[in-house]
Structure formats: C-alpha cells, structure tokens
Amino acid sequence: MKFSMIAFAGLVMSAEGLLTNPASSQVQKITDSLKDRAYVTRDIKTPDPIPEEGQEAALELMKTGRLYRYNVAPGEESVVSQCEKEICEYTGFKYCVGLNSCGSALMLLLKTTGLEPGGKVLSNAFTFGAVPSAIEHARGKAVYVESTKDHVIDIVDMEKKLKENPDCKHVLISHMRGKLADMSAIKNLCDKYDAILLEDCAHSLGVFWEGEHSGHKGIACAISSQSYKMINSGEGGFLLTDDPEIAAQTAVLAGAYEGLSAKHTTVPGPEHFEGKPTALPNYSIRMSNLAAAVIRPQIKTLEPRIETYNKRYNALVEKLESRVGDHLYIPQLTPGVTRMVHDSIQFNLDKKFTPEMVQAFLEECGAHGLPVELFGHKTNARNFVNWGFAPAEEPLPQTAEMLSRACDCRMPLMWDDEDFEDLGNVIIESIEKVLADNNML
C-alpha cells in the first residue's frame, strides 16, 4: 500500500501533534521568555520629594532662624501649629500635637492613657520594631497577638490573649503597611474586656474605615512623617485624639513647659493644663518648624498622590494575578476598609516554595535590580524574633509561617509607569525561574 508524499507528511504532522505535551510547550515558552529578562534600573528607596513650596518655605524659615516652635510673637501661630491644624482638618480629629517621631507619639499614647510600669500591652506580632520599642520605652510589657495571611491582627487570637491576660488594659493595634483589621470587632473586644484601644496609623494616613479616617476607633492614634510615609519630613509624627486630657498631657510631655501650651492651637483650653507643667516631665520631643514647613504642602497633594498610587497598584496586582496568581497570594482588604492607600505591595509566596526557593526568588529579584524584602528574614526589623529587647514569651507559629514567605516591595511615586512594568516583570520572571529550576512549572 502506497502513500502520497502529502499524505505521509500529514500523517507525520498529526503524530507529532499527538505526541506533543501542552504542558511541556508552556514550560518551553516560559523558559524561552526567561532568556531575555526584565531589569529594574530605578532606586526602590526613592522617597516622595518635597514640593517646591515646601523647599521655599524651609529656606525662608532658615533665614529667620526661628526653627523652634515656640519662638513666635504673642498672637502669632508657629509653622507647627499651622501644620497641626491642617492635619486635624484632613483626619477629622479635634486635637493634634506634632512630635519628633511617630515612635515618640506611640510612647505618649501609652503614657497619657495610664500605662503603669510593667503593664501589659496587646499588640500585633507582625509590625515594625518601633512598636514594641515604644511599649518598652513607656515601661510596658508587650503581649503579642498572631497575625493572619492578610497581614492584620488575628481577631480570634486577640480575644484568646485578652482572656488569658485579664490584667491587660491596653491594646495597641498597628496598621502595618496601611492594612486595617476588623476595627469594629476590635473595638467591641476592647470594650468587652475593659481595655483601652490605641491605633498606630504610621502607615495608614489616607486610609478610611467605614467612611472615617483611620484612627477613630481608638481613643487616640499616631501618624508618621518619616521619609517612607505619605508625608515626608525625614523624621516626625503626630499624636491625634478627641480626648482633652490626652492632648493636654501630650503637649506638656512633649515640651510645653511653663505657659507654652498657650502657643498651641489644636489643644484644649487652659483649664486642662492646670498643674501639669510642674507635675509632668518635659521629654523635649517637639516637632520643629522646619519639619512642619516641608510637611504642609504635602498635605495638599495627598489626594492626587493616593490616586496615582492606587491606580498603579491595581494595575500591578492584575498583572501578577494573571501571570503567577497560582504561585502567590496578595493580602485582601478587610470588609469595612472604604479607601486604601497602596504605596507599596506585599505578597505571600505559595507554600510550595521551600526556604531555599524563597531565598532563590529574592536573589533572582536582586540580580535584576529589584531588592524585594522578606518580612521573615533573620535580620528584618519586622520579624518578631529580632525583638530581643521585648521578646515573645509564647510561640507565634501562624505569624512565623506567614512571615517566612511574606514579601514587601515599595512603589516609589517618582517612578514612571514603565518602571512598574519592569517591576512586575522581574517578580513574575523570578518566580517562573525558581519554579523552572525546581521542575515545578
């Protein structure tokens, strides 16, 4: 029986089609694409710049030499006082005191709400080391609560810890990377167990819970103006509250000695300051006029900057989930968060990634210009095992597991949209490279 050449060729092609493994073709396609890798050329540590208006204001201020907030004539408002008013207007709080850092603000949250030496403070096991440091600074004792895969405090474990520590009267919730847990549930638990709720809003300026700016579920909160936050003065912070006693104490402890509280505009009346300048210490942790001068114009630009951040974040998430969604998990917002600020991106590598594979992924990213941080790294200040000054007394396996594969990457405002294309491609290609090297594609 004879076949024509055309028929024979068709038979061969059909056989090849039957023998071809679609999965193998996909692996080959990915392998081929990895030969021409993306590379990030911009500095991931680029902070938001100071607007020209802030630069000019700082220069004019330096010409006068009046950098001290209280060096103003009677009836005049210092630059810090003007800044405090604008922060109040943006966040919806009645009282505000500018400080030299958010860490100082966190410490004063505890001091002004009656924390006794050795008093217990419940807080997230996943946060920045400045939070347990502030608890230690206030002479408290941290009790850590597990965190979830969504990088927020675990409500179930929080109630467990409150039950186990009936003498704990303070809860300091940290909104790490701007992510809010169920703040209504947290407030209910604090009320149920007679604990004072305080909020670390260092990362959550501009984030809203049920239509209200973050920080209002607690009796007071702190925000930051450190360089990698939404407002940048290098270092700086604000304590915000609607409670007049907390506000008055904060102003005096920060450095409003003698009658200097009269030079504040966002504190309660003089009756709340009676006896305080002699009864309370002066920690000299005030904000300077220079810091406030560079902050003020940044408050005006918060909304358009947040819009840009969120637009870029959403595009990046869509790209990651469509390409490598089976290999990573992007933390989800808690229902009740009505506006988020995405100035960075976090994701958890899938559980199939061994520690060696996680390290290989980080090295792949770094080799292509993108220094992705691992929250669970042995040197990371966000890893609770590194808080030797305030160690956890109980195992925190859930948090430890999450941190072991939780990655963090900033999204600098000054980058161009094309730079975020490169950023996304480096993450995707690094994941694919590690999986390909381990025959897992």
Residues 6+ apart with CB under 8 A from 393: none
Distance in angstroms (rounded) separating the CA atoms of residues 257 and 70: 10
Inter-CA distances, 177 with 126, 181, 204, Å: 11, 12, 7
At 220-260, the pLDDT tens digits run: 999 999 999 999 999 999 999 999 999 999 999 999 999 99
End-to-end CA distance of the chain: 44
At 96-111, the pLDDT tens digits run: 999 999 999 999 999 9
Distance in angstroms (rounded) separating the CA atoms of residues 417 and 419: 5
Distance in angstroms (rounded) separating the CA atoms of residues 126 and 130: 12
Number of Cβ within 10 Å of residue 16's Cβ equals 9
Are residues 79 and 293 in contact, defined by beta-carbon separation less than 8 angstroms? yes
Q: Which residues of the chain have pLDDT under 50?
A: 1-20
Q: What's the token pair of residue 366?
A: 């770094």
At 274-333, the pLDDT tens digits run: 999 999 999 999 999 999 999 999 999 999 999 999 999 999 999 999 999 999 999 999
Distance in angstroms (rounded) separating the CA atoms of residues 216 and 223: 12
Torsional class of 394: left (φ above 0), alpha (ψ -120 to 50), beta (otherwise) = beta
Distance in angstroms (rounded) separating the CA atoms of residues 148 and 152: 6
